[in-house]
Structures are given as structure tokens and as C-alpha cells.
């Protein structure tokens, strides 16, 4: 199964509302724009969707995610834990989208930084 590229207008909208913080690290995840803080993914794109990853205890604090659907990139009927598709009504409104990403950044930045795991190759050398 191949994935579709995100539409250019969605990429531009995402880039425009992503918080301008030195904590935000922009990368690509599976070829899509993605944003991280302290090594934790917190928001990005997948095909025609904006997605967010927050522990349930955190996303329940954000009213704009009350109608969010689970994220099922492989279309298997199994959603990924703590991953949500941001409602299109929120993505279509730049101020709401920006506020949601800002709130997500604030919540995720409170999590302890991820530490790099040793790979099997690195473990063998040690």
C-alpha cells in the first residue's frame, strides 16, 4: 500500500501555524512533515490529515480534540495508541489550529526528554 503525499496547501498551513519555539525540532517522519520536542513527536502530517500524539491524560485537556478520530495509517481498523487525527474543522481555522499545536507543545514539553537507545550494533561494540 502506498501513501499519498500531503497536499501543498496543508503543508503550508501546518508550517504557518507550527509554534515558533526553539524547543520545536522539525523533521520528516515517513516522508511527512513532523514536529518533535525533547525527542517526542507531538504533531505532523500524514496524507491529507494533520495528526497529533499525546498521552490520553493530556489530550483530554484539549477541547479541540474532543471530536478527534483515532489514527489508523494502515487502514487495518487498529488505531495507534495516543495518536489522533486533528478534526478538519480545527485544521481549517488557522487560529484554532495554531492554538491546538501550541497547547500540545506545552503539554508534551513537560514530559521527560527521551534518551537515545543503544542499537544492537553499538551494544556489541561496548
The domains of the chain, with CATH numbers, are 8-125 (3.30.1460.30)
pLDDT-flagged residues of the chain (< 70): 1, 119-126
d(CA 27, CA 34): 5
Q: What share of the chain is helix, strand, coil (3-state, %, to 5)?
A: 35, 25, 45
pLDDT at 117: 75
pTM score of the predicted model: 0.84
Find out whether 50 and 85 touch, Cβ atoms under 8 Å: yes
Q: Do residues 96 and 13 make contact, with C-beta atoms less than 8 angstroms apart?
A: no
Burial bucket for residue 14 (CB in 10 Å: 0-12, 13-18, 19+):
buried
Predicted pLDDT of residue 18: 96
Residue 28 dihedral angles phi and psi, to the nearest 5°: -115, 140
Amino acid at each position: 500500500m502506498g501513501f499519498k503525499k500531503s497536499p501543498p496547501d496543508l503543508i503550508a498551513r501546518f508550517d504557518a501555524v507550527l509554534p515558533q519555539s526553539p524547543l520545536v525540532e522539525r523533521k520528516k517522519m515517513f516522508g511527512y512533515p513532523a514536529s518533535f520536542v525533547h525527542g517526542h513527536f507531538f504533531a505532523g502530517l500524514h496524507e491529507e490529515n494533520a495528526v497529533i500524539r499525546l498521552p490520553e491524560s493530556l489530550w483530554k485537556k484539549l477541547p479541540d480534540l474532543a471530536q478527534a478520530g483515532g489514527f489508523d495509517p494502515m487502514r487495518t481498523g487498529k488505531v495507534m495508541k495516543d495518536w489522533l487525527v486533528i478534526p478538519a474543522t480545527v485544521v481549517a481555522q488557522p487560529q484554532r489550529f495554531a492554538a491546538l499545536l501550541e497547547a500540545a507543545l506545552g503539554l508534551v514539553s513537560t514530559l521527560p526528554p527521551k534518551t537515545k537507545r543503544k542499537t544492537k550494533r553499538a551494544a556489541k561494540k561496548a
